């Protein structure tokens, strides 16, 4: 999608939003898959309502991208312009046990920054790549820790009202890889409440989680983490592994040899290859186990 109207581009520039034409999103996603589109980089949260108003009025479809580590984008010319929050130099401010973080911040760096201030609890999330906003969207979690329980307030652009609002943590439902935010809400900043813990102790927890990840996941290959959510009481990876599908591929899209719920781009996989692999594996699991696997990766369609 191209923003061809010069008047619209001028109005967007006036909001302080950076316009980047013809961006390849294969280079902006951890799967290395995705076509091209114009990118709008949002520098000030306050500009978002007006930006979306302008785009909607001009009939320009748009999608929001965080760190790009949990998405599968289509190939070719994308039918949306892509919005993203610009990273800030100082993205976290600590006051006592309270941490105010911009949603563009890197989640892992936030965990480390808090650790250095003797604030822990989020050690399990250390190796979850992507932004704080992306983690909020899906209630990211690992090794028994999820971000949801630490959330006290979220500043969010609400699509339903067209305004920026502040929600209390208790007003948000955080479940396994699911939250009650509306699909087109955009999270802008969050206040987390973290327990005090000595840095050395947190570091020890971080090291253990890093080691677990390194020994079980294909971290040197392009992936979006787990492709499927685990079904209640089960493990998608175990089922796929039991069927002998590790290494199975469609084009350059492969089931990882290391972790059967990680599908990797082993070269030049297209979105069509990855979707075909997802569909094939889901069908085999359905036949063998009678279980319908739900995607954890967000497929833009
Ligand atoms: C190697 C690897 C390991 C991983 N391990 C884990 C793991 O252990 N646990 C886990 O939960 N996940 C894991 N993931 C998946 C991914 O890292 C997380 O889901 C992460 O939280 C996604 O954040 P992101 O910023 O990259 O989101 P993106 O991929 O950019 O976006 C994902 C979705 O969230 C939406 N979104 C992003 N930011 C915002 C925002 N600010 N407001 C509104 N919507 C937004 C996007 O529109 C999109 O629909 C892993 C991924 C990789 C590549």
Per-residue pLDDT tens digits of the chain, which is 301 residues long: 999 999 999 999 999 999 999 999 999 999 999 999 999 999 999 999 999 999 999 999 999 999 999 999 999 999 999 999 999 877 799 999 999 999 999 999 999 999 999 999 999 999 999 999 999 999 999 999 999 999 999 999 999 999 999 999 999 999 999 999 999 999 999 999 999 999 999 999 999 999 999 999 999 999 999 999 999 999 999 999 999 999 999 999 999 999 999 999 999 999 999 999 999 999 999 999 999 999 999 999 9
Nearest CA to ligand 1 atom 17: 129
Question: What's the whole-model pTM score?
Answer: 0.96
Show the CA angle centred on residue 168, arms to residues 162 and 173, nearest 5°.
Answer: 90
Q: What is the pLDDT of residue 91?
A: 77
Ligand 1 atom with the smallest distance to the CA of 187 is 42
Using DSSP's 3-state secondary structure scheme, residue 203 falls into: helix
Distances in Å between the Cα of 234 and the Cα atoms of 76, 228, 229 are 36, 12, 10
Q: What is the pLDDT of residue 227?
A: 98
Please state, in angstroms and rounded to a whole number, the distance separating the CA atoms of residues 63 and 74.
Answer: 13
Q: What is the pLDDT of residue 69?
A: 98
Q: What is the pLDDT of residue 236?
A: 98
Q: What is the pLDDT of residue 262?
A: 98
Q: What is the pLDDT of residue 200?
A: 97
Tokens of 257: 């040899």
Q: What is the pLDDT of residue 188?
A: 98
CB of 129 shorter than 6 A to ligand 1: yes
> Residues 287, 292, 295, 299: is their CA dihedral positive or negative?
positive
Exposure pattern of 10-29 as b/e (b: 16+ CB <10 Å)?
A: ebbeebebeeeeebebbebb
Ligand 1 atom with the smallest distance to the CA of 177 is 11
CB of 130 shorter than 6 A to ligand 1: yes
Nearest CA to ligand 1 atom 50: 225
Going by C-alpha positions, the residue among 230, 226, 223, 224 that lies closest to residue 294 is 230
Q: CA 247, 69, 139, 146: dihedral to nearest 10 degrees? A: 70
Ligand 1 atom with the smallest distance to the CA of 66 is 30
């Amino acid at each position: 999608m191209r923003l061809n109207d010069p008047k619209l581009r001028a109005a967007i520039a006036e909001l302080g939003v950076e316009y980047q034409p013809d961006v390849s999103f294969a280079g902006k996603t951890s799967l290395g898959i995705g076509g091209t589109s114009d990118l709008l980089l949002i520098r000030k949260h306050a500009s978002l309502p007006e930006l979306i108003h302008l785009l909607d009025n001009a009939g320009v479809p748009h999608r929001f991208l965080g760190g790009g580590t949990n998405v599968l984008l289509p190939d070719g010319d994308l039918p949306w312009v892509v919005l993203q929050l610009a990273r800030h130099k100082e993205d976290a401010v600590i006051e006592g046990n309270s941490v105010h973080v911009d949603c563009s911040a890197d989640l892992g760096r936030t965990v480390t920054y808090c650790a250095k201030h003797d604030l822990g609890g989020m050690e399990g999330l250390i190796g979850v790549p992507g932004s704080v906003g992306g983690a909020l969207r899906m209630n990211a979690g690992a090794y028994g820790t999820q971000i949801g329980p630490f959330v006290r307030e979220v500043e969010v652009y609400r699509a339903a009202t067209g305004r920026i609002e502040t929600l209390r943590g208790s007003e948000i439902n955080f479940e396994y890889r699911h939250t009650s935010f509306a699909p087109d809400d955009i999270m802008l900043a969050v206040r987390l409440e973290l327990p005090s813990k000595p840095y050395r102790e947190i570091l020890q927890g971080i090291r253990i989680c890093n080691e677990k990840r390194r020994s079980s996941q294909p971290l040197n290959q392009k992936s979006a983490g787990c492709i499927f959510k685990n079904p209640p009481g089960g493990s998608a990876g175990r089922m796929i592994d039991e069927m002998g599908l590790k290494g199975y591929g469609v084009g350059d899209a492969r089931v990882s040899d290391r972790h059967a719920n990680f599908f990797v781009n082993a070269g030049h996989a297209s979105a069509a290859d990855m979707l075909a692999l997802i569909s094939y594996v889901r069908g085999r699991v359905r036949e063998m186990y009678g279980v319908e696997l739900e995607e954890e990766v967000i497929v833009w369609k």
